Structure 1
Amino acid sequence: MAALNFTPSDPSTFMLTGIPGLEAAHVWISIPFSTFYIIGLLGNFMILFVVGKEQTLHKPMFLLLCMLALTDIGTSTSIVPKALCIFWFNLKGITEGGCLAQMFLLHVVSAMHSAVLVTMAFDRYIAICNPLRYATILTNARIAKLGLVGFIRSFLFILPLPLLLSRLPFCANRIIPHTYCDHMAVVKMSCGDTTVNRIYGLVVAFVVVGLDLMLVALSYGLIIRAVLRISSKKSYQKALNTCTAHIFVMLISCTLSLFSILTHRFGQGITPHVRVIFANLYFLIPPMLNPIIYGVKTKELRDKMGKYTCRR
């Protein structure tokens, strides 16, 4: 029982409470958490496997799907194992270094996820507005370079967050009412001046999320303009169908992301367990639904996935 009632005696240790106010229901909450996580892992690894095995799928669009799958696996895996340890075994302690590492990994992969969605919007813009030049503009090598740029951008923007936090003094009460080490949740544990941390956190949120949303909106504005000029009804529907999957993914991801960011910073009237649940859903729902959406809406991928699943 001593292990199950763990409290951090080490002054460099934080305690994650899980979902505040719903501690008695942690075991039941773990059921959908683990289910969503497993479904997401299976779906995303299936995409990676099928695209890797099928030479005909070694195209820019499917390479982007693989990048999206990797970021989905990274975001959910960075929080779910620790959350399940809290729910199942009451292992709430996490070292200061472990907390900062989790926060860094989580935000880097999230920023990379946003960059991939922007690149996918650009991919759809080229496919509809410049279809004859698509193969020359978006080569596999260029997609790989765009992915590398997205990763470098994410790494450089997020790196200052743990570095700034590591210089701050933390209070004696190191209880974080969350399932994972979120940047703002850790900032609130400090007894020092956190003005720089809060300002930089907002800058990252608006530059990464805000700029990426603007680029996606610009891409779709140009796509809509091009689609409205199409006279053939069949071509019009085909053009719209090429964007459907990406639009669904963007809506799901952006809705949960914006709700999580805004409620964490400005939603003092919202109960803590609602904020924490929605913050976790942002890292659980998109990774689970994205492979399903693209598997259903992309015929080439659907056929190849059916080939392997039916064989087994």
Structure 2
Amino acid sequence: MPDQLFTDMYRDTEHLTWAPTEQVRERGRRRTRRTRVAAVLAGAVAVAVVATGAVALAGGPDAAPTPVLPATGSPTPTPAPSATPTPTPSPPPPTGTNPAGPPSSPSTADGRSTTGSTSPAIPTAALLRASDLPSGYRADGSDMDGDWSFDFAAMYVCADTPTPTAEQRAERGAVFRKPVESTVVERVRRYSADGAKATMDWVRRTVNECEPDGQQSSLSILDSGFVGDGSLLIRFNAQGVVSYTLFVRQGDLVAEVWLDTLTDQADVRQVARRVADRLCLGTDAC
């Protein structure tokens, strides 16, 4: 038996005439437009009311006072205007300082450092230039990575090596290359004055105590004491591969220069003199 609710609905709507679908859609669109227009008009009225209130507040003495709302808590006090402090002029920078940044290391007109061991920084003037080397060498940055150092070579050639005891305070280096033929690497380190002397003694002791680890390997001092406060020219022979390293000390600075295949004695001595001269631009000891 059919449900009574559906029977009644069918009877009441049996003879109704339904509007076409397009007409129903058009009515919906009109209703939507009316709703949007009403919303816009309401917003415009609200803006006008606010503007009118602002004009009234900005008016003369006859303007209506702003109503005071009942207090709901402790009133917030209005802070008193603070006096603008009169700026105090900054004192002029001390003579010899750089107002745009930290003071630079004192130096002479030729770029020589006048700080000696009081400042560990090593000026670039204390390093070799390409012009200090035989013709054909060109500067190639400051990347000193590699197995060229005296310490590494000594450990490769000798069965055992003494441990250096001096603690360095700063380090700086430069690399020079002669295409295909040779590479020169310089590393300048700053120690205390006693530490620099101890480093030269360590180099000499390492060579003298070296017991070659192989019949074709050797480590020897070719020359010493020819420039600066101390100097050593070391010859390495590692399984038949020969290279030269130069040590020069000036005060608290020690330069280690790997000469690679630069072996001509006249060239080596010229480079050693230039190393000593350059180091004097980084220490007061000269």
So what's the TM-score if we normalise by structure 1?
0.24
Answer 1 or 2: which has greater helix percent: 1
